[in-house]
Structure 1
Amino acid sequence: MFNLIKATMLTIAALPLAAAAAPAPVDLLVGSYTDSGSPGLYAYRFDTGNGRLDAQPWQTLRLDNPSWLVLAPDQARVYAVSENGPGARDTVGRAGMLALDAQHRLTLQGQVSTLGDHPTHASLTPDGRYLLVANYSVDTHPGGSLAVLPIDAQGRLQPVTQLLTYQASHVDPERQRSAHVHWVGFSPDGRTAYATDLGGDRVYAYRYAPQDNPERPLQPAATPFLALPPGSGPRHLAFDASGRHAYLTLEMAGQVAVLDVDAQGALRLREVVDLFAPGFTGGNGGGALHLSADGRFLYAINRGGDDHLAVFAVGADGGLTLVQRRATEGRQAREFAIDPSGRFLLIAVQGANRIVVLARDPRTGKLGKTLQAVEVAAPSDLKFLRP
């Protein structure tokens, strides 16, 4: 009898522990293109235990073409670029700040012009004093640019104080008639900012020095740029945690460039690796790339007809070894994100109007079966929030 009572008490005592062990759902912010009249910005709930994404968002916010989202480190604000320009309902490229409360509800606090067309990417400076915006500019005029927007004490964006412009390479007569700045971000140590110019086949480097001139905090680095193979079209850049190695998608070539980084932040091209399979002769479109949280694997999208996600193991020297090529379940996959558990990878498949959830093996890096596809109009960015 005593043993029965003891076992019952142990079972009851264990119940709260079992319940507490269940992972809490996390919120996923989704940016999108709004040509179809869709709201633009969505918040979904994602279950990190079973990989299920709610079929419907729990929150929407009407915003024109919020194609890229930036979370403030304290998660109290979200910055969104509106990829507007000629042909859009709103022809002015904009960046906006949204307040994010403790329940993760979003409220737009204002927008400012980025002084360029089709802003497609943005990053906060390490000290949070500025938002750097990449104006892609589909049209030849005015061409792509890098805009620097100060941030006030309340987190609101102020008008552009520095605008950097570039020259095209003209290697491709259609796609490289003007500069097309596609990405902007920082080295892990926060000392150097980089901007990729698809139209000029270059990655530009800047010393971040707001103490020298708060109005113009970016100054050319000692090695001001890295020239890439002509016509390759650099797009997105990712650094490893050490800051000694970086990886760059070459959109027009359908490749990843492996870069070494010296102590001053100068980039050196080591090698290029194909994203497409041997013998593939279709179109390419190298896109988003990200390292896994543990830095052991690199994932990079190739679109343009190939429509696969390439998985690479990262060696001790920063080199890449192909592990897998996995179909993206639709054309024009714009962005992807690995969930906080590391067991799932979500793809924003813009051309198929859906978010696809894939199983992921954290040990091998391999992507498994498709678990779910949720309909979302032209998704372009995915950002997980901390609980």
Structure 2
Amino acid sequence: MTKWHLYVGCFTKDLWTYFPRPETDTTIPSPGIERLLFDDVTGSLRYVGVAGGDLSSPQYLELHPHLRVLYAAEFAWPGRLVAFDICSDGQLMQRATVDSLGAMAVATSVHPSGNVAYVGHLGDGVLTSCALDPGGGIQGAIVVHPGTIREDPNHGAGERFAYRGSGPKHHQVRVTPDGGGLVVTDVGSDAVVTYAVESLDGSIAQPISQVSFPAGSAPRHVDFHPSGKVAYVVGEGDATLYVLEARQHVPLRILSSHPLAPPGEVGECLPSELHLHPDGRTLFVGLRRADCIAVFDVDDSGGVRILYHESSGGRNPRAVRVSPSGSHLLVGNWDSNGVAVFSVDDARRLRLLGEPVEVPSPSSFAFVAVSR
């Protein structure tokens, strides 16, 4: 498959209801989810338009493993999970919206069985499980972990949002590739927690692993080595890549840590998303404020070493994703409102292909094959 719909989750204007908008902010609000057409042979990218509107900051997008259904976690109070049917022409048709029972839904992940979607919340650390019907619709939501419930819906408005000191705050939830665990990054508690998951129906049991990170490291995103013996986590608070020992993709302990900031970088460097190339040999990490991508070599055992830093093609890269073929890297630069496309050659060098395509405040990506 060479032609893909690229769906981009974006922030909407209501984001600044919950957070103070910096005077230097240059982001442009979106109505919700934007759609582009991507050619994974040539690397060409063309903006099409809004695919799903009237949403509240769909920060994270996730696909059903078997059906043409897209899910979006709405970063709002209350948080919501939205399901869309993906039409043959690429447009999104909203099917269902449910209250995700927490504040500021920041990420979602669907179990390989297609029976359950999980939602993590940055506002209060609530972890939610949403049952899915055979067609991918959302049947309801239950709280798996209560987090720290907040009564004030305007909490954070006019204040600088802080991770630490106010209980758990999720930033990502990821089902392990075999479906046996749900990995949750907790930036508020500086921990990565894994819950046991029933492989058939996706129901969640007790935690089976908890890895503590250095105070203030704020573990943000996770990815898995194909061997199942190593996992990777970025610390947003300390600009560090952590390599973790894992068993069947379940993180167990920290093996090593690696600074992410470019040599001689002055000022704060904020890691965002990381993505391991499908061949398992190269790891890409987005670095906000430094406005670049850190590129790591990955050896056969899953160990890493820094290769180089490459400009992200814009300002404040939030979304970093390798294309389905592995031939390209797409980067969503939030502050400069654009998506940059890089070719990835056999030597793992990145080369920017043309000018970035204008997209308002890009935050996450999902690739869906174009119907023939």
Q: Give your verdict on TM over 0.5.
A: yes
The reply to whether residue 25 of structure 1 matches residue 6 of structure 2 is no
User: By how many angstroms is 1:278 displaced?
Assistant: 3.2
Seen in structure 2, the aligned counterparts of structure 1 residues 37 and 244 have a Cα distance that, compared at 3 Å, is closer
Residue aligning to 1:151: 132
Higher RCO (C-alpha 8 Å, min separation 6): 2
Alignment of 1:79-90 (within 5 A): 79-85=71-77
For the residue of structure 2 that corresponds to 1:54, the secondary structure is: strand
Change (3 A) 1:255 1:155: same
Tell me the amino acid that sits aligned with residue 32 of structure 1.
C
Residue in structure 2 matched with residue 312 of structure 1 by the alignment: 296
Aligned to 1:118: 104
Letter of the 2:352 partner, please give it.
K
1:166-205 map, 5 Å: 166=147, 174-178=162-166, 179-205=168-194
Structure 2 residue identity aligned to 1:120: V
Asked if the contact 1:45–1:58 (Cα under 8 Å) also holds between the matched residues in 2, the reply is no
* Mapped partners of 2:67, 2:281: distance in 1: 27
Task: Give the letter aligned to residue 30 of structure 2.
Answer: S
Where do 5+ consecutive residues of structure 2 fail to align?
14-27, 149-160
Q: From 230, 240, 243, give the equivalent of 2:228.
A: 243
Note the alpha carbon deviations across 1:157-203, whole angstroms, 9 max, x for none.
Answer: 13322331447xxxxx9431222101111222221111010010001
Give the corresponding residue for 1:380.
Answer: 363
Q: 1:378: how far off?
A: 0.6
| Distance of aligned partners of 1:372 and 1:150 in 2 relative to their CA distance in 1, 3 Å threshold | same
> Which amino acid in structure 2 is aligned with residue 161 of structure 1?
I
Shift of 1:262: 2.6
Q: How many angstroms does 1:104 deviate by?
A: 2.9
User: Between Structure 1 and Structure 2, which shows a larger proportion of helix residues?
Assistant: 1
Distance (whole Å) between structure 2 residues aligned to residue 196 and residue 226 of structure 1: 10
Unpaired segments ≥5 residues, structure 1? 1-22, 86-91, 138-142, 168-172
Which of the residues 265, 276, 282 maps onto 2:267? 282
Q: Is 1:162 equivalent to 2:143 in the alignment? A: yes
When residues 268 and 24 of structure 1 are mapped into structure 2, their CA distance, relative to the original with a 3 A threshold, is closer
The structure with the largest alpha-carbon Rg is: 1
2:239 to 236, 254, 261: 254
Q: What is the rounded CA distance, in whole Å, between the counterparts of 1:126 and 1:341 in structure 2? A: 21
Could you say which structure has the higher strand fraction? 2
Matched-pair contact (CA < 8 Å) for 2:313–2:356: no
- SS of 2:35 mapped into structure 1: strand
What count of residue pairs does the alignment treat as equivalent? 344
The aligned residue for residue 152 of structure 2 is none
Match for 1:133: what amino acid? V
Give the counterpart letter for 1:247 in structure 2: Y
RMSD over aligned Cα atoms: 2.3
1:40 match:
32
Deviations 1:102-146 (A, max 9, x none): 333310001001111111111011211111011111xxxxx2221
Residue 95 (structure 2) aligned to one of 94, 97, 109: 109
Q: AA paired with 2:300?
A: A
Structure 2 residue aligned with 1:140: none
SS in 2 for 1:80: strand
Native 8 Å contact 2:52 2:93 kept in 1: no
Q: CA deviation at 1:273?
A: 0.7
Taking structure 1 as reference, are residues 130 and 47 closer, same or farther at Cα in structure 2, changes over 3 Å only? same
The one-letter amino acid paired with 2:261 is F
Q: 1:233 to 1:65 in 2, by over 3 A?
A: same
Q: 1:55 to 1:219 in 2, by over 3 A?
A: closer
Residue number among 316, 327, 333 corresponding to 1:332 in the alignment: 316
Partner amino acid, structure 1, of 2:293: L
